[in-house]
Amino acid sequence: MIEAWSVADVRAAEKPLLTAGVPLMERASFALATVVARDLARRRSIALPDGGRRDGRVTGARAVLLVGSGNNGGDTLHAGAYLARRGVEVLAVLTGEHAHAGGLAALRDAGGRVEVLVGSPDGAAHGDGHDDRHHDHLDPHVADRVAAQAARADVVLDGLVGIGARGALRGVAADLVERLTAVLDCGPAHGPEGLGRPWVVAVDAPSGIGVDDGTVPGPVLRADRTVTFGAAKPGLLLPPATHLAGHGAVVDIGLRLGAPGPHAPGADAAGLGAPGLGAPGLGAPGLGAPAPGAPAPGVPGPDAPAPDRGTMTPVVRRLEPADVAALWSVPGATDHKYTRGVVGVVAGTPTFPGAAVLVTTAAVRTGPGMVRYGGPDDATRAVLAARPEVVPAAGRVQSWVLGPGVPAVPGPGDDPVDDGGQHERARAALAAATATAATATDATTTDATPERVPAVVDAGALSLLPDRCPPSVVLTPHAGELATLLRAHGDDVTRTDVEAEPLRWARRAHEATGATVLLKGSATVVVGPEGAWSQADAPAWLATAGAGDVLAGILGTLLAAHAERVVREPGLAARLAAAAAVVHGLAAERANPGGPVAALDVADAVPGVVAELLAAR
């Protein structure tokens, strides 16, 4: 599991180390240089006669560093010095009035070149909270020259501003990023044949993103790789900024975040969740020794001081495949169809029977004991033709999936809709999902239900919600539906607002309703009583009709398998919702790697994904 921490918590974790004289900048810059050198070697790889490839030489590669005034610029300059000693041709483009003195001296001593855009580079540098966004605009001819130099490079390091900066880039930095984006963001990065644009590496975070909230208030240079120090930052996991961060590597510089206890350096770098990430150990051969007097980078030492963690909690988390496998319920020898979980589905209408097929298929393919369906005759016939194992009869269920393919309840003055009786069925099921244990009853039978039934509430059923729900009810809106829901609670918000700040508005929906909220989008954001999750496992091809119905079916099965715990443990529904998003995204990739997918194909790919996850645990 990946945990992303606020800038304030990262600063609190750094403070005792800096007070004790721990050289964090040397550790960070050495780690950054190691990752960049590894990337350069792989991207300059050489074809072998047997069809394989061998890592290429770093010597002779060209690097352009975009350097601001703060400590982030110092990290970048020191990393450039390490690379220059390795034989990389390094050009540092200084965008601020000052540069980090030690980093600048190290780069020059190593043979790196420097180009100054603003002021003098030799003044004292400011701290990491300082940025270079308030200067006058950059001369267009200068911007063109820098962009041309960057376009000829093998790698560009973005060290313009640090994680302490706030708001959009402005002035020189904004002008430079806009020009670089126009020149560089026009094709694949340099591959083994050396074609395309340079590989862009963001230092700690892409300059200009909202580091704590994932917003994108202005221009940002899209990164192919982000090397972040000490801990993941929320903006690297949260949309929309997560899509600008590229592959991620968290390098260990000795910070102690998370649960109290001995710090185990373990892996020196960890991926941020995309396939094939990871990063080398910080002692990778070939970069040479750390700066004189610096300890082995990444090793905190047994007596390293720890911050006060009393108020520290991650801003957002991300599940990895192993976490999903650990959550999965695997049947045993004594299980039967009723103990494995029964999913009740109220989806589809005479106009949209396909939604019922997609939800029930996805639920069946995820592995419950049984799926029951309640709906109009046309939809029932379509479901049974596609999935004859679905039971179109009333009976006890352990979870509900309500609303896919069902229209919203018409408002005053709206034309009536043909819901095929689904509004009535969904209302009854919501009564079971939100009632107390003493009054809950199954919506399709007279049998008593011993406690609340977890539910997935989607599409038209969102218009049927009571004022408050327990967290065992999971809402699965897209941005437009979430905006509609929030307006009903008095918020002045549009779809565009939700897409710009998904974490903020998903949190607001959780606060307003009490329910767990899964906000669908290019990256999925889940908010529950224990915090937030963000999953970015799905290919862009998954933005297709019916994909949300498949997700609802997957999640319904997970809730049914853990129904009693979901009702007892307020945070479990959110973890299962995040797990469903992981399986949904992996199934989309498995259905047709690198190409278009149809929703039903995604559902059919789920069993293979689950088998792979379980085989690896």
Residue 296 structure tokens = 């082995």
CB atoms within 10 A of CB 596: 12
Tokens representing 411?
A: 């408002």
Residue positions forming the annotated binding site for AMP = 520-524, 548
Q: In this predicted structure, what is the pLDDT of residue 413? A: 86
Q: Are 22 and 304 in contact (CB under 8 A)?
A: yes
Binding-site residue numbers for (6S)-NADPHX are 71-75, 162-168, 204, 355, 405, 478, 549
Identity of the residue numbered 97: E
- Structure confidence by residue, pLDDT tens digits, 245-279: 999 999 999 998 864 433 333 234 455 544 333 33
**Is-above-0.95 flag for pTM?**
no
pLDDT of res. 382: 98
Q: All domains of the chain, ordered by start, with CATH?
A: 2-44+58-284 (3.40.50.10260), 334-615 (3.40.1190.20)
d(CA 81, CA 324): 41
DSSP helix, strand, coil percent of the chain (3-state; round to 5): 35, 15, 50
* Selection from 273-287, 424-438, 555-569 with the highest mean pLDDT: 555-569
Q: Any idea what DSSP says for residue 594? A: T
> Which has the higher per-residue pLDDT, 263 or 409?
409
- C-alpha 250/C-alpha 227 separation (Å) is 6
Buried b (16+ CB within 10 A) or exposed e, 528-544: bebbbbbbbbbbebbeb
Q: Which residues are annotated as a binding site?
A: 71-75, 158, 162-168, 204, 207, 355, 405, 478, 520-524, 548-549
d(CA 433, CA 515): 11
Percent of the chain beyond pLDDT 70?
A: 84
Q: CA angle 343-470-396, nearest 5°? A: 25
Q: Phi/psi of residue 531, each to 5°?
A: 125, -160
CA distance 471 to 456: 11
Beta-carbon count within 10 A of 604 CB: 17
> For 192-228, how does the pLDDT look when each residue is reduced to its tens digit (9 = 90+)?
444 568 999 999 999 999 999 999 999 999 999 999 9
Place of tokens 């009583």: 529
Q: Which residues of 179-214 are buried (b: 16+ CB within 10 A; e: fewer)?
A: bbbebbeeeebbeeeeeebbbbbbbbbbbbbbbbbb
- Residues 518 and 533: their CA atoms lie apart, in Å, by 9
From 457, 480, 427, select the one nearest 551 (Cα to Cα): 457
Residues across the chain = 617
Neighbouring-strand partners of residue 346: 402
Q: How far is CA 175 from the centre of its chain?
A: 28
Percent of the chain with pLDDT over 90: 75
Burial class (CB in 10 A: 0-12, 13-18, 19+), 245: buried
Tens-digit pLDDT profile for residues 489-532:
999 999 999 999 999 999 999 999 999 999 999 999 999 999 99
Rounded mean pLDDT, 116-130: 57
Q: Show binding-site residues for K(+).
A: 72, 158, 207
Give per-residue pLDDT as tens, 552-561. Answer: 999 999 999 9
136-183: per-residue pLDDT in tens?
A: 788 888 999 999 999 999 999 999 999 999 999 999 999 999 999 998
